[in-house]
A and B are shown apart, each in its own frame.
Chain A
Protein backbone atom coordinates (compact mmCIF):
# COMPACT_ATOMS: atom_id res chain seq x y z
CA UNK A 1 0.00 0.00 0.00
CA UNK A 2 1.06 3.61 -0.59
CA UNK A 3 1.42 5.92 2.38
CA UNK A 4 2.18 9.63 2.52
CA UNK A 5 3.16 11.54 5.63
CA UNK A 6 5.19 14.59 6.65
CA UNK A 7 8.31 13.26 8.36
CA UNK A 8 10.39 15.98 10.04
CA UNK A 9 8.90 18.60 7.76
CA UNK A 10 9.47 16.64 4.56
CA UNK A 11 6.65 15.03 2.59
CA UNK A 12 7.39 11.35 2.09
CA UNK A 13 5.48 8.88 -0.05
CA UNK A 14 6.44 5.24 0.08
CA UNK A 15 5.06 1.81 -0.72
CA UNK A 16 4.89 -0.25 2.45
CA UNK A 17 3.55 -3.54 3.77
CA UNK A 18 0.26 -3.24 5.70
CA UNK A 19 1.93 -4.41 8.91
CA UNK A 20 4.97 -2.13 8.76
CA UNK A 21 5.27 -0.23 12.02
CA UNK A 22 5.87 3.49 12.18
CA UNK A 23 9.14 2.60 13.93
CA UNK A 24 10.39 0.64 10.90
CA UNK A 25 9.17 3.39 8.58
CA UNK A 26 11.06 6.23 10.27
CA UNK A 27 14.23 4.10 10.55
CA UNK A 28 13.94 3.25 6.85
CA UNK A 29 13.91 6.97 6.18
CA UNK A 30 17.07 7.66 8.15
CA UNK A 31 15.77 8.55 11.60
CA UNK A 32 18.16 6.38 13.58
CA UNK A 33 17.60 8.18 16.90
CA UNK A 34 14.40 6.14 17.15
CA UNK A 35 15.23 2.78 18.72
CA UNK A 36 13.37 -0.31 19.80
CA UNK A 37 14.32 -1.39 23.30
CA UNK A 38 11.63 -3.75 24.50
CA UNK A 39 9.12 -4.65 21.76
CA UNK A 40 6.48 -4.78 24.49
CA UNK A 41 5.52 -1.08 24.41
CA UNK A 42 7.05 -0.43 27.82
CA UNK A 43 10.39 1.34 27.41
CA UNK A 44 9.58 4.58 25.56
CA UNK A 45 12.69 4.42 23.38
CA UNK A 46 10.70 4.54 20.18
CA UNK A 47 8.83 7.74 21.08
CA UNK A 48 7.95 9.99 18.14
CA UNK A 49 5.50 12.88 17.82
CA UNK A 50 2.37 12.26 15.81
CA UNK A 51 0.78 15.66 15.18
CA UNK A 52 2.70 16.90 18.26
CA UNK A 53 1.48 14.05 20.48
CA UNK A 54 4.08 11.60 21.82
CA UNK A 55 3.33 8.01 20.80
CA UNK A 56 5.16 4.67 20.72
CA UNK A 57 6.16 4.13 17.11
CA UNK A 58 6.79 0.41 17.71
CA UNK A 59 3.10 -0.10 18.45
CA UNK A 60 1.65 1.91 15.61
CA UNK A 61 1.18 0.92 12.01
CA UNK A 62 2.84 3.30 9.56
CA UNK A 63 -0.33 3.18 7.49
CA UNK A 64 -2.22 4.81 10.36
CA UNK A 65 0.05 7.86 10.07
CA UNK A 66 -1.26 8.51 6.56
CA UNK A 67 -1.57 12.25 5.95
CA UNK A 68 -0.23 13.10 9.38
CA UNK A 69 2.84 14.92 10.71
CA UNK A 70 5.54 12.76 12.30
CA UNK A 71 8.56 14.17 14.12
CA UNK A 72 11.60 12.40 15.53
CA UNK A 73 14.56 13.75 17.46
CA UNK A 74 16.21 14.56 14.11
CA UNK A 75 13.42 17.03 13.44
CA UNK A 76 13.65 18.77 16.80
CA UNK A 77 17.35 19.55 16.71
CA UNK A 78 17.37 22.99 18.37
CA UNK A 79 14.86 22.12 21.05
CA UNK A 80 16.55 18.78 21.71
CA UNK A 81 20.04 20.25 21.84
CA UNK A 82 18.95 22.93 24.27
CA UNK A 83 17.33 20.49 26.68
CA UNK A 84 19.83 17.66 26.11
CA UNK A 85 22.74 19.79 27.29
CA UNK A 86 21.15 20.00 30.75
CA UNK A 87 20.85 16.22 30.91
CA UNK A 88 24.48 15.87 29.81
CA UNK A 89 25.61 18.39 32.45
CA UNK A 90 24.27 16.07 35.13
CA UNK A 91 25.93 13.01 33.62
CA UNK A 92 22.42 11.62 33.56
CA UNK A 93 22.54 9.85 30.24
CA UNK A 94 25.32 7.35 31.14
CA UNK A 95 25.05 4.77 28.33
CA UNK A 96 22.76 7.14 26.43
CA UNK A 97 20.55 4.45 24.94
CA UNK A 98 17.32 5.75 26.50
CA UNK A 99 18.14 9.40 25.90
CA UNK A 100 16.41 10.09 22.56
CA UNK A 101 13.09 8.73 23.86
CA UNK A 102 13.52 10.51 27.17
CA UNK A 103 14.28 13.84 25.46
CA UNK A 104 11.31 13.47 23.09
CA UNK A 105 8.91 12.84 25.93
CA UNK A 106 10.42 15.56 28.13
CA UNK A 107 9.97 18.05 25.27
CA UNK A 108 6.34 16.94 24.99
CA UNK A 109 5.93 17.52 28.73
CA UNK A 110 7.48 21.02 28.62
CA UNK A 111 5.30 21.98 25.67
CA UNK A 112 2.20 20.89 27.62
CA UNK A 113 3.32 22.09 31.01
CA UNK A 114 6.33 24.43 31.07
CA UNK A 115 6.74 24.33 34.86
CA UNK A 116 5.86 20.82 36.02
CA UNK A 117 6.18 19.65 39.60
CA UNK A 118 8.36 16.65 40.46
CA UNK A 119 5.28 14.44 40.64
CA UNK A 120 4.08 15.66 37.25
CA UNK A 121 7.51 14.96 35.74
CA UNK A 122 7.60 11.45 37.22
CA UNK A 123 4.07 10.72 36.05
CA UNK A 124 4.63 12.01 32.52
CA UNK A 125 7.95 10.24 32.05
CA UNK A 126 6.96 6.98 33.76
CA UNK A 127 6.91 5.27 30.37
CA UNK A 128 10.58 6.04 29.67
CA UNK A 129 12.81 3.43 31.22
CA UNK A 130 16.50 3.95 32.01
CA UNK A 131 18.45 0.92 33.28
CA UNK A 132 21.66 2.82 34.15
CA UNK A 133 20.46 5.59 36.41
CA UNK A 134 17.94 5.93 39.21
CA UNK A 135 16.42 8.87 37.29
CA UNK A 136 17.85 11.35 39.81
CA UNK A 137 20.29 12.80 37.26
CA UNK A 138 17.52 13.30 34.72
CA UNK A 139 15.36 14.95 37.38
CA UNK A 140 18.20 17.32 38.33
CA UNK A 141 18.73 18.15 34.66
CA UNK A 142 15.05 18.93 34.27
CA UNK A 143 15.05 21.16 37.35
CA UNK A 144 18.02 23.07 35.93
CA UNK A 145 16.30 23.37 32.54
CA UNK A 146 13.05 24.64 34.10
CA UNK A 147 15.02 27.21 36.12
CA UNK A 148 16.90 28.30 33.01
CA UNK A 149 13.65 28.75 31.06
CA UNK A 150 12.07 30.63 33.97
CA UNK A 151 14.98 33.05 33.81
CA UNK A 152 14.33 33.66 30.14
CA UNK A 153 16.90 31.24 28.66
CA UNK A 154 17.33 31.54 24.92
CA UNK A 155 17.46 28.61 22.54
CA UNK A 156 20.73 26.75 22.02
CA UNK A 157 22.92 27.83 24.84
CA UNK A 158 23.14 28.57 28.50
Chain B
Protein backbone atom coordinates (compact mmCIF):
# COMPACT_ATOMS: atom_id res chain seq x y z
CA UNK B 1 0.00 0.00 0.00
CA UNK B 2 1.25 3.46 -0.84
CA UNK B 3 0.92 6.23 1.69
CA UNK B 4 1.38 9.83 0.63
CA UNK B 5 1.79 12.63 3.09
CA UNK B 6 1.62 15.54 0.68
CA UNK B 7 0.86 16.01 -3.01
CA UNK B 8 2.82 18.79 -4.68
CA UNK B 9 1.61 20.04 -8.06
CA UNK B 10 4.85 21.55 -9.28
CA UNK B 11 5.04 24.68 -11.40
CA UNK B 12 8.36 23.96 -13.07
CA UNK B 13 10.67 21.08 -13.88
CA UNK B 14 13.35 22.66 -11.69
CA UNK B 15 10.99 22.53 -8.69
CA UNK B 16 10.19 18.89 -9.52
CA UNK B 17 13.87 18.01 -9.89
CA UNK B 18 14.81 19.63 -6.57
CA UNK B 19 12.03 17.79 -4.74
CA UNK B 20 12.97 14.54 -6.45
CA UNK B 21 16.51 14.60 -5.05
CA UNK B 22 15.15 13.47 -1.69
CA UNK B 23 14.73 9.70 -1.45
CA UNK B 24 11.40 9.84 0.32
CA UNK B 25 9.82 11.98 -2.41
CA UNK B 26 8.54 10.43 -5.61
CA UNK B 27 7.42 11.61 -9.03
CA UNK B 28 3.98 10.32 -9.99
CA UNK B 29 3.29 9.00 -13.49
CA UNK B 30 -0.04 7.27 -13.97
CA UNK B 31 0.46 5.70 -10.50
CA UNK B 32 -0.72 2.30 -11.72
CA UNK B 33 2.46 0.41 -10.89
CA UNK B 34 3.55 2.63 -8.01
CA UNK B 35 0.34 2.05 -6.06
CA UNK B 36 0.88 -1.71 -6.01
CA UNK B 37 4.02 -1.46 -3.91
CA UNK B 38 4.51 -0.70 -0.24
CA UNK B 39 5.93 2.75 0.12
CA UNK B 40 5.71 5.79 2.33
CA UNK B 41 6.03 8.92 0.22
CA UNK B 42 6.60 12.24 1.91
CA UNK B 43 5.97 14.41 -1.13
CA UNK B 44 4.37 13.00 -4.24
CA UNK B 45 5.45 15.17 -7.15
CA UNK B 46 2.74 15.74 -9.74
CA UNK B 47 3.81 17.01 -13.19
CA UNK B 48 0.21 17.29 -14.46
CA UNK B 49 0.24 21.10 -14.67
CA UNK B 50 3.37 21.37 -16.82
CA UNK B 51 1.68 20.77 -20.16
CA UNK B 52 3.63 17.59 -20.77
CA UNK B 53 0.59 15.55 -21.80
CA UNK B 54 0.74 16.32 -25.51
CA UNK B 55 2.17 14.65 -28.60
CA UNK B 56 3.73 17.31 -30.81
CA UNK B 57 4.84 16.88 -34.40
CA UNK B 58 7.66 18.76 -36.09
CA UNK B 59 9.22 18.22 -39.51
CA UNK B 60 11.81 15.84 -38.11
CA UNK B 61 10.18 14.12 -35.17
CA UNK B 62 7.28 13.40 -32.85
CA UNK B 63 7.77 14.67 -29.33
CA UNK B 64 5.75 12.80 -26.71
CA UNK B 65 5.38 14.52 -23.34
CA UNK B 66 6.06 12.29 -20.35
CA UNK B 67 2.48 12.68 -19.09
CA UNK B 68 0.91 11.63 -22.41
CA UNK B 69 -1.03 8.44 -21.87
CA UNK B 70 -0.64 5.05 -23.52
CA UNK B 71 -4.10 5.58 -25.00
CA UNK B 72 -2.83 8.74 -26.72
CA UNK B 73 0.02 6.87 -28.43
CA UNK B 74 -2.37 4.04 -29.27
CA UNK B 75 -4.72 6.39 -31.12
CA UNK B 76 -2.31 9.00 -32.55
CA UNK B 77 -2.74 8.82 -36.31
CA UNK B 78 0.51 10.51 -37.35
CA UNK B 79 2.66 8.51 -35.00
CA UNK B 80 1.06 5.22 -35.99
CA UNK B 81 1.20 6.07 -39.69
CA UNK B 82 4.97 6.55 -39.29
CA UNK B 83 5.50 3.23 -37.54
CA UNK B 84 2.82 1.23 -39.37
CA UNK B 85 0.77 0.83 -36.19
CA UNK B 86 3.67 -0.55 -34.14
CA UNK B 87 2.80 1.56 -31.08
CA UNK B 88 -0.90 0.73 -31.35
CA UNK B 89 -0.11 -2.98 -31.55
CA UNK B 90 2.30 -2.74 -28.62
CA UNK B 91 -0.09 -1.13 -26.15
CA UNK B 92 -3.55 -2.31 -27.24
CA UNK B 93 -3.50 -5.39 -24.99
CA UNK B 94 -2.24 -3.62 -21.88
CA UNK B 95 -5.03 -4.29 -19.35
CA UNK B 96 -7.92 -2.15 -20.62
CA UNK B 97 -8.93 1.20 -22.07
CA UNK B 98 -9.46 2.77 -18.65
CA UNK B 99 -5.97 1.66 -17.56
CA UNK B 100 -4.34 3.04 -20.71
CA UNK B 101 -6.16 6.35 -20.16
CA UNK B 102 -4.14 6.72 -16.96
CA UNK B 103 -0.81 5.00 -17.64
CA UNK B 104 1.78 7.50 -18.87
CA UNK B 105 4.53 7.12 -21.45
CA UNK B 106 7.02 8.66 -19.02
CA UNK B 107 6.16 6.21 -16.24
CA UNK B 108 6.32 3.24 -18.61
CA UNK B 109 9.72 4.19 -20.04
CA UNK B 110 11.44 5.63 -16.97
CA UNK B 111 10.70 2.48 -14.96
CA UNK B 112 12.61 0.34 -17.51
CA UNK B 113 10.35 -2.54 -16.60
CA UNK B 114 11.27 -5.98 -17.85
CA UNK B 115 7.68 -6.75 -18.80
CA UNK B 116 7.27 -3.57 -20.82
CA UNK B 117 5.57 -3.72 -24.20
CA UNK B 118 6.17 0.02 -24.46
CA UNK B 119 9.95 -0.19 -24.07
CA UNK B 120 10.16 -3.03 -26.60
CA UNK B 121 8.28 -0.95 -29.17
CA UNK B 122 10.24 2.27 -28.66
CA UNK B 123 13.56 0.45 -28.91
CA UNK B 124 12.65 -0.64 -32.43
CA UNK B 125 12.05 2.99 -33.43
CA UNK B 126 14.64 5.72 -33.89
CA UNK B 127 13.77 7.06 -30.45
CA UNK B 128 15.38 9.15 -27.72
CA UNK B 129 14.53 10.30 -24.23
CA UNK B 130 14.91 13.88 -23.12
CA UNK B 131 16.09 13.99 -19.52
CA UNK B 132 15.83 17.25 -17.59
CA UNK B 133 19.48 17.27 -16.52
CA UNK B 134 20.88 14.50 -18.70
CA UNK B 135 19.79 15.93 -22.05
CA UNK B 136 18.78 13.85 -25.04
CA UNK B 137 19.87 10.23 -24.85
CA UNK B 138 19.19 7.43 -27.38
CA UNK B 139 16.66 4.93 -26.04
CA UNK B 140 19.20 2.15 -26.61
CA UNK B 141 21.57 3.86 -24.11
CA UNK B 142 18.84 4.91 -21.69
CA UNK B 143 17.72 1.32 -21.28
CA UNK B 144 21.18 0.43 -19.92
CA UNK B 145 21.60 3.50 -17.68
CA UNK B 146 21.46 3.19 -13.91
CA UNK B 147 18.34 4.62 -12.35
CA UNK B 148 18.83 8.09 -10.92
CA UNK B 149 16.79 11.06 -9.79
CA UNK B 150 16.63 12.83 -13.12
CA UNK B 151 13.27 13.50 -14.80
CA UNK B 152 12.19 12.04 -18.10
CA UNK B 153 10.59 15.02 -19.84
CA UNK B 154 9.82 13.71 -23.32
CA UNK B 155 10.24 10.74 -25.62
CA UNK B 156 11.32 11.76 -29.11
CA UNK B 157 10.65 9.60 -32.14
CA UNK B 158 12.60 10.66 -35.23
CA UNK B 159 10.71 10.43 -38.51
CA UNK B 160 12.47 7.56 -40.15
CA UNK B 161 10.01 5.84 -42.50
CA UNK B 162 10.39 2.13 -42.90
CA UNK B 163 8.70 -1.12 -42.07
CA UNK B 164 7.76 -2.28 -38.58
CA UNK B 165 6.22 -5.28 -36.86
CA UNK B 166 5.25 -5.97 -33.25
CA UNK B 167 4.22 -9.31 -31.79
CA UNK B 168 3.67 -10.53 -28.27
CA UNK B 169 2.53 -13.72 -26.59
CA UNK B 170 0.28 -13.61 -23.54
CA UNK B 171 -1.29 -16.37 -21.51
CA UNK B 172 -4.48 -14.31 -21.41
CA UNK B 173 -5.21 -11.23 -23.43
CA UNK B 174 -4.71 -8.53 -20.81
CA UNK B 175 -1.99 -10.22 -18.77
CA UNK B 176 1.68 -9.25 -18.71
CA UNK B 177 3.38 -10.57 -21.84
CA UNK B 178 5.29 -13.86 -21.79
CA UNK B 179 7.45 -12.49 -24.59
CA UNK B 180 7.48 -9.39 -26.79
CA UNK B 181 9.19 -8.90 -30.13
CA UNK B 182 9.54 -5.74 -32.22
CA UNK B 183 11.31 -5.59 -35.57
CA UNK B 184 12.07 -2.61 -37.79
CA UNK B 185 13.79 -1.85 -41.05
CA UNK B 186 14.25 1.88 -41.52
CA UNK B 187 16.95 4.07 -42.99
CA UNK B 188 19.00 1.02 -43.88
CA UNK B 189 19.16 -0.11 -40.24
CA UNK B 190 17.52 -3.38 -39.33
CA UNK B 191 16.64 -3.89 -35.66
CA UNK B 192 15.20 -6.75 -33.64
CA UNK B 193 14.09 -6.29 -30.03
CA UNK B 194 13.22 -9.10 -27.63
CA UNK B 195 11.43 -8.08 -24.43
CA UNK B 196 9.76 -9.63 -21.38
CA UNK B 197 12.56 -12.23 -21.30
CA UNK B 198 11.41 -11.49 -18.45
CA UNK B 199 14.32 -9.06 -18.07
CA UNK B 200 14.57 -5.68 -19.76
CA UNK B 201 14.31 -5.72 -23.54
CA UNK B 202 17.43 -6.47 -25.62
CA UNK B 203 18.09 -4.67 -28.86
CA UNK B 204 20.03 -6.18 -31.76
CA UNK B 205 21.11 -4.55 -35.01
CA UNK B 206 20.95 -7.25 -37.63
CA UNK B 207 21.98 -7.69 -41.25
CA UNK B 208 19.35 -10.09 -42.50
CA UNK B 209 15.77 -10.84 -41.60
CA UNK B 210 15.66 -14.58 -42.14
CA UNK B 211 15.08 -17.83 -40.32
CA UNK B 212 18.78 -18.22 -39.58
CA UNK B 213 18.92 -14.85 -37.79
CA UNK B 214 15.73 -15.62 -35.83
CA UNK B 215 17.25 -18.90 -34.67
CA UNK B 216 20.60 -17.31 -33.77
CA UNK B 217 19.01 -14.46 -31.76
CA UNK B 218 16.77 -16.89 -29.90
CA UNK B 219 19.82 -18.97 -29.00
CA UNK B 220 22.07 -16.13 -27.86
CA UNK B 221 19.48 -14.08 -25.92
CA UNK B 222 19.44 -14.75 -22.16
CA UNK B 223 16.00 -15.88 -20.92
CA UNK B 224 14.73 -16.73 -17.47
CA UNK B 225 11.78 -18.58 -16.01
CA UNK B 226 9.00 -17.06 -13.96
CA UNK B 227 5.39 -17.88 -13.11
CA UNK B 228 4.29 -17.16 -16.68
CA UNK B 229 6.72 -19.32 -18.64
CA UNK B 230 9.99 -21.20 -18.53
CA UNK B 231 13.20 -20.00 -20.16
CA UNK B 232 12.98 -22.92 -22.62
CA UNK B 233 9.49 -21.91 -23.72
CA UNK B 234 10.54 -18.28 -24.07
CA UNK B 235 13.53 -19.26 -26.21
CA UNK B 236 11.27 -21.31 -28.47
CA UNK B 237 8.73 -18.47 -28.64
CA UNK B 238 11.44 -15.95 -29.51
CA UNK B 239 12.45 -17.95 -32.57
CA UNK B 240 8.84 -18.30 -33.70
CA UNK B 241 7.82 -14.67 -33.10
CA UNK B 242 10.98 -13.28 -34.70
CA UNK B 243 10.42 -15.49 -37.74
CA UNK B 244 6.82 -14.22 -38.04
CA UNK B 245 7.86 -10.60 -37.57
CA UNK B 246 10.59 -10.92 -40.22
CA UNK B 247 8.06 -12.46 -42.61
CA UNK B 248 5.60 -9.63 -41.89
CA UNK B 249 8.25 -7.03 -42.74
CA UNK B 250 9.30 -8.85 -45.90
CA UNK B 251 5.64 -8.96 -46.92
CA UNK B 252 5.49 -5.18 -46.65
CA UNK B 253 8.62 -4.58 -48.74
Contacts and interface: CB of A to CB of B under 8 A. Distances in A.
How many residues of A sit at the interface, in one of the four size bands? 20 to 34
Interface of A: 1, 18-19, 40-42, 44, 47, 50, 53-56, 59-61, 63-64, 105, 108-109, 123-128
A54 B99 CA distance: 9
Q: For chain A, what secondary structure do more than half of its interface residues adopt (helix, strand, loop), or is it mixed?
A: mixed
Interface string B203-228: 00000000000000000000000000
Contact of A108 (B4, B6, B95, B97): B97
A61 B7 contact: yes
Given A18-B5, A105-B97, A105-B98, A126 B174 contact: yes
Interface string B3-35: 111110000000000000000000010111001
25 contacts: A18-B4, A18-B7, A41-B35, A41-B99, A42-B95, A42-B174, A44-B96, A44-B98, A54-B97, A55-B98, A55-B101, A56-B102, A59-B99, A61-B7, A64-B48, A105-B96, A105-B98, A125-B97, A126-B95, A126-B96, A126-B97, A126-B173, A127-B96, A127-B97, A127-B174
Contacts of A60: 31, 102
Q: For chain B, what secondary structure do more than half of its interface residues adopt (helix, strand, loop), or is it mixed?
A: mixed
Contacts of A124: 97
A125 B95 CA distance: 10
